[in-house]
Structure 1
Amino acid sequence: MNFRFNRLGGAAVALSCLLATTASADEAVLRAVSAFQVGTTIYEPFERFVEQVNENGKGIVQIDVIGGPDAMPPFEVGNALRGGIIDLANTTAVYHANLVPEGLAMTLTNRSMEELRENGGYDLLDQIHKDKAKIHWLGRLLQNIQYHIYLSEVPEELDFDGLKIRSAPTYQAFFSALGITPVQTAAGEVFTALERGTIDGYAWPSIGVFDLGWQEKTAARVDPGFYQVETGVYFSQAAWEKLTEAQQDFLTEQMIAFEGDADRYSTLADEEAARQAEAGIKTYELEGEARETFIAESNEEGWKPVIAASPENGAKLRELLVK
């Protein structure tokens, strides 16, 4: 379905959501959007989750994906969830950090979702989302996938100071602490920026480089990685509350089962690393003091905006999310 989000389209989606969730007392059909492009590596976990729900949920609940970024700009998804314009979304807390800055903590955890569901970390983040944005966090799709710095040239001896690296708000403070000059460049413009030399590299997950053809302009990947890529399933609280208890329980059970397959993505990251090596991308390994400084700076700088925005909850989250 070719869907374009605008004022008229938003009203139509709101109406369709209402009709979808109330059309059948036995089966709820939920309208979803994805903040990630259909067909990409980052989108694949959501595709698998939808297939799993629709296969197991016949007569209970079905998910109808009405589009990706073409249907709704990624940074509008949080507001659309809060306003009940859509039922659920495949997105990341990074995209609605303006509503829930504490959500950035999900990129900083080194605990599994199983651990966070047991120790209260999940419950706290979910409650914060409900209180601040009327959003229910169903669970996490991607686990065990880190970000890396990729370079257009293989360095003889890596000095971050002065390097121009395509960045994102999630790790901009970290890059600045390393001496990197963060550059805000749309993903669609990265290839040209590398080609013209206006950036020296980019930060990206350990998977998905080939989706955009960037391997052609990439010479090296810096190890270790940093942070954890977070994508998840987020519900409009209004849509969630319209579901029966049985439907809510079913979706929660499906999410927990999906999270239990987290090792799949560790394997995927290993396969991507091998593919990158075959494509000629060298691994530049930080060692000794340089490695320790890199890891320490990533942790300290990553938590600063979370704790600054929410001192009490930020401190609690760090205690629960970090081993």
Structure 2
Amino acid sequence: MNARIPKTILALLAAAGLSGAACAQEVTLRLVSAFAENGIYVQRLLPWVHKVNAEGKGVLQINFIGGPKAIPPFEAGNAVKTGVVDMALNTGAFYTNVMPEADFLKLTQIPVAEQRRNGAFDAINKVWNEKANMQYLARMVENQPFHIYTNKKVDKPDLSGQKIRITPVYRDFFQALNANVITTPPGEVYTALERGVVDGYGWPIGGIFDLNWQEKTKYRIDPGFYDAEVSLVMNLPAYRRLTEPQRAYLHKQLLALEAENGFWVKYASDEVARQEKAGIQAIRFDAATAKAFRDKAYDIGWASAIKQSPEIAGRFKTLFSK
């Protein structure tokens, strides 16, 4: 286990009676979220958890322990790897400390359903199994491009002189745009904006209202780039301990979860309108500049991936691209 995870958290998990199996026929899986419980990702997930539990009595149950108050966002990946918890709702950008390849998932340009058909999903799991001791279960967020949000207006794709909060998702891209980058957990961004520690941040099109960042945000730069990846991952030994009926039941429910991903298209559109109403102004470039901006994001993203892990990135690029 990771010594950095507080003993009080481990005691909490043990006290919750989450030892793994309620009986020989039923297993209870411990689930945490790297995202806040009041945020859209968890709010979309919880009805699914309730459905799994209602339909899975005697087979499989999920015990949702909580969000970052249970385990810090950047420790959730390691908690899954080491078996402190069984599952996590997480994004690859938050567990690059476990495996740098986790960040490559932002570069997918095809739906998860197609990833399951064309071999991408199997390729992901081969790497996750070998390098992270994890099973990649399902992707529950799609069609959520990242954007640059800033309090300093620009007229071209140049962030010179700006301090921008990042995660590994867009570090290389933002640095190529001449930004000074700062890494902080999401929970610290509001205060950083308020105090002028940062001038802006990278974030998907949705979710800023969950964190009240709209109160401290003036501009959003269009177009978006990459695709926010939020997925369920599971400790590999825990996954392999499942019986065939338990695994089949979980897989059926995971596919049902992914089948609801159409929600995110309308959500993105609604968030654009909501941001405009809140006073966030869109900065839009001409068509040629916008295309060059987006192409640059992917060129830099893949160049970084290939530099970091040539064989895996090369395999993923073929499978992830349109």
1:51 and 2:50 aligned? yes
- Quote the residue 1:161 is aligned against: 160
Checking the alignment, whether the CA contact within 8 Å between 1:17 and 1:30 is kept in structure 2 is no
- Quote the residue 1:288 is aligned against: 287
1:214-246 deviation digits (Å, cap 9, x = unpaired): 212212211111111111111111111121111
Cα distance 1:311–1:17, how it changes in 2: closer, same or farther (>3 A)? farther
- Mapped partners of 1:173, 1:163: distance in 2: 15
Checking the alignment, whether the CA contact within 8 Å between 1:154 and 1:282 is kept in structure 2 is no
1:209 and 2:170 aligned? no
Partner-residue secondary structure (3-state), 1:42: helix
- Mapped partners of 2:18, 2:38: distance in 1: 28
Cα distance 1:52–1:287, how it changes in 2: closer, same or farther (>3 A)? farther
- Mapped partners of 2:11, 2:314: distance in 1: 40
- Quote the residue 2:40 is aligned against: 41
Partner-residue secondary structure (3-state), 1:20: coil
Cα distance 1:78–1:153, how it changes in 2: closer, same or farther (>3 A)? closer
Checking the alignment, whether the CA contact within 8 Å between 1:17 and 1:31 is kept in structure 2 is no
- Quote the residue 1:270 is aligned against: 269
1:7 and 2:7 aligned? yes
Checking the alignment, whether the CA contact within 8 Å between 2:170 and 2:202 is kept in structure 1 is no
Cα distance 1:8–1:271, how it changes in 2: closer, same or farther (>3 A)? closer
1:25-70 deviation digits (Å, cap 9, x = unpaired): 2221111111111111232232233123123322221111112111
- Quote the residue 2:132 is aligned against: 133
Superposed displacement of residue 284, structure 1: 1.3
- Quote the residue 1:183 is aligned against: 182
Checking the alignment, whether the CA contact within 8 Å between 1:140 and 1:231 is kept in structure 2 is yes
Checking the alignment, whether the CA contact within 8 Å between 2:157 and 2:293 is kept in structure 1 is no
**Corresponding letter in the other structure for 1:203:** G
1:242 and 2:238 aligned? no
**Corresponding letter in the other structure for 1:239:** A
Superposed displacement of residue 18, structure 1: 6.8
1:119-152 deviation digits (Å, cap 9, x = unpaired): 1100011111111121111111111111111122
Superposed displacement of residue 279, structure 1: 1.1
- Quote the residue 1:314 is aligned against: 313
Q: Which is worse superposed, 97-106 or 258-267?
A: 97-106
- Mapped partners of 2:17, 2:123: distance in 1: 28
Consecutive unaligned residues in structure 1, runs of 5 or more: none
1:182-211 deviation digits (Å, cap 9, x = unpaired): 222443333333334343221111111111
Superposed displacement of residue 161, structure 1: 2.6
- Quote the residue 2:170 is aligned against: 171
Checking the alignment, whether the CA contact within 8 Å between 1:28 and 1:62 is kept in structure 2 is yes
Backbone CA RMSD of aligned residues: 2.2
- Quote the residue 2:77 is aligned against: 78
**Corresponding letter in the other structure for 2:275:** Q
- Mapped partners of 1:317, 1:75: distance in 2: 24
Cα distance 1:238–1:17, how it changes in 2: closer, same or farther (>3 A)? farther
1:260 and 2:259 aligned? yes
**Corresponding letter in the other structure for 1:253:** K
- Quote the residue 2:231 is aligned against: 232
- Mapped partners of 2:18, 2:207: distance in 1: 35
Instruction: Provide the TM-score with structure 2 as the length reference.
Output: 0.91
Checking the alignment, whether the CA contact within 8 Å between 1:146 and 1:226 is kept in structure 2 is yes
- Mapped partners of 1:100, 1:156: distance in 2: 37
Cα distance 1:159–1:95, how it changes in 2: closer, same or farther (>3 A)? closer
Q: How does 1:80-95 map to 2 (within 5 A)?
A: 80-95=79-94
Checking the alignment, whether the CA contact within 8 Å between 2:153 and 2:219 is kept in structure 1 is yes
Q: Which runs of 4+ in 1 moved over 6 A?
A: 14-18
Checking the alignment, whether the CA contact within 8 Å between 1:116 and 1:321 is kept in structure 2 is yes
Superposed displacement of residue 294, structure 1: 1.1
Cα distance 1:314–1:244, how it changes in 2: closer, same or farther (>3 A)? same
**Corresponding letter in the other structure for 1:317:** F
**Corresponding letter in the other structure for 2:13:** V
Superposed displacement of residue 154, structure 1: 4.3
Instruction: Provide the TM-score with structure 1 as the length reference.
Output: 0.91
Superposed displacement of residue 107, structure 1: 0.8
